[in-house]
Amino acid sequence: MLSGKTILVGITGGIAAYKICELIRMYKRANAEVLVVCTPNALNFVTKLTLQNLSKNPVAVEEFDVKDFNPEHISYADRADIMVIAPATANTISKISQGICDNLLTSIACAFTKPVIIAPAMNCNMWENPIFQENLHKMHYEILEPESGYLACGYEGKGRLCSLEKIFDKTVELLTYKPLNGKKIVITSGGTIEDIDPVRYISNYSSGKMGLALADIAKNLGADVTLITTKDVSRKYNVVKVKSALDMKEAVEKEFENSDCIIMAAAVADYRVKEISPQKMKKTSDDEITLTLVKNPDILKEICARKKASSPAGLPSCPLIVGFCAESENLLENAKEKISKKGCDFLIANDISRKDIGFSSDYNEVTILDKNGGMKKLERADKRTIAGEIFKVIYG
């Protein structure tokens, strides 16, 4: 099942470290090559000799054990197809999220550009700590959340390492399941910025997190990804930085012909200032100021019309077009009206009035509508999970 794949297993200093011996056996039985790297504290729970016998490879611990002039953290990052950190302690997760590289494992994680699975395990109060949760969701990795139950510390709650089968299955999925191979996916994200003068602008609260999650997952699923965004993003796929609605329209139109799917997750401003002042507008004695606004192009509607005009009658049309709908009231009614007016294949409706899933949140809850009247609700989950489910629906 995993023949020809190299899996890098990172073990940190938690009581669940002993369970990873069986995970290594599972990988070996699937014909994978297994490399193991431990934090120094992990060896308080499982021995180096045991891990070496199971993996049939030396176990790396020290950061500066350099062989053949090839630094360990770079050579391990280059050799492995995937990195699995389990159990992942709160300490290690927080270090990785902040880019801290104070041991071999965290240094490898910083240099690793391929899929990474994080399987946390810790005390339930540590898991629920808001600072830790913020650190956890900064990372664009596959997070396999812990399970609830009796913990080694004597507490009852969420913090147990998830099942080894879940870790194994996710590893297989990421290494072998590439349903978007050969597809060009274009995704927009972030809120557009419409200048008033050199120092002021009109925009919105969009963080771009949902679009970024969609782009990351599409890449993991094998797609050729282009992310058109108003945010500063550094990724291994193609990122096009834009500012205004007109900039975004131009970038989307440029990608249209060669795209298999366009997902319009950006929050595009409906209006822009008619005349941008070339100099900073000075405060006057007047209590009011008037700005004349003009409508921005409806990018989603325009590309849907372009698709319809370019599609031969009776034949499947391309690209697949997915819109987003951010509403603060009457979510489904407004979404149904919008998908009818725009003409897109799917429309994803968000309720931005809820603080737990609104702008800037790491979580979302959406309803996916299709052009044939179908509807599927995705319950609240982190945005990467939601992104994965969206691709299952639109390519189901």
CB environment 107-141: b (16+ within 10 A), e (fewer): bbbeebeebbbbbbbbbbebbebeebeebbbeebb
- How confident is the model at residue 306, as a pLDDT? 94
Average pLDDT value for residue range 322-333? 93
- How confident is the model at residue 69, as a pLDDT? 46
The CA distance from 14 to 10, in Å, is: 12
Give residue 383's Cα distance to chain centre: 7
The CA distance from 7 to 277, in Å, is: 57
Strand pairing partners for 347? 323, 369
Structure token pair of residue 275 = 């005349």
The candidate with the shortest Cα–Cα distance to 322, out of 298, 344, 351, 343, is 344
Asked if the model's pLDDT at residue 310 lies above 90, the reply is: no
pLDDT digits (tens, 9 = 90+) for 95-150: 999 999 999 999 999 999 899 999 999 999 999 999 999 999 888 899 999 998 88
Per the model's pLDDT, the better-predicted residue between 215 and 352 turns out to be 215
Q: Give the CA distances from residue 177 to residues 35, 49, 216, 330, in Å, rounded to whole numbers and listed in that order.
A: 22, 34, 15, 38
Angle at 368 between CA 363 and CA 373, to 5 degrees: 165
Q: Which region holds residue 130: left if phi is over 0, alpha if psi is between -120 and 50, else beta?
A: alpha
pLDDT digits (tens, 9 = 90+) for 223-244: 999 999 999 998 879 999 999 9
Residues ≥6 apart with Cβ < 8 Å to 59:
36, 37, 38, 48, 51, 52
Average pLDDT value for residue range 46-70? 81
The answer to whether the predicted template modeling score (pTM) of the entire model surpasses 0.75 is no
The candidate with the shortest Cα–Cα distance to 72, out of 122, 29, 95, 38, is 38
Asked if the model's pLDDT at residue 349 lies above 90, the reply is: yes
Provide the Cα torsion 192, 198, 201, 206; round to 10°: 40
- How confident is the model at residue 318, as a pLDDT? 81
Mean of all residue pLDDT scores within the chain: 92
The domains located in the chain, with CATH, are: 6-176 (3.40.50.1950), 184-394 (3.40.50.10300)
CB atoms < 10 A from the CB of 218, how many?
Answer: 27
Which of 21, 110, 153, 318 is labelled catalytic?
153
Catalytic (active site) residue 325: no
Average pLDDT value for residue range 42-65? 90
The CA distance from 342 to 331, in Å, is: 16
Structure token pair of residue 257 = 């012909």
| Phi–psi pair at 215, nearest 5 degrees | -65, -40
Residues of the chain above pLDDT 90, percent: 76
- How confident is the model at residue 316, as a pLDDT? 56
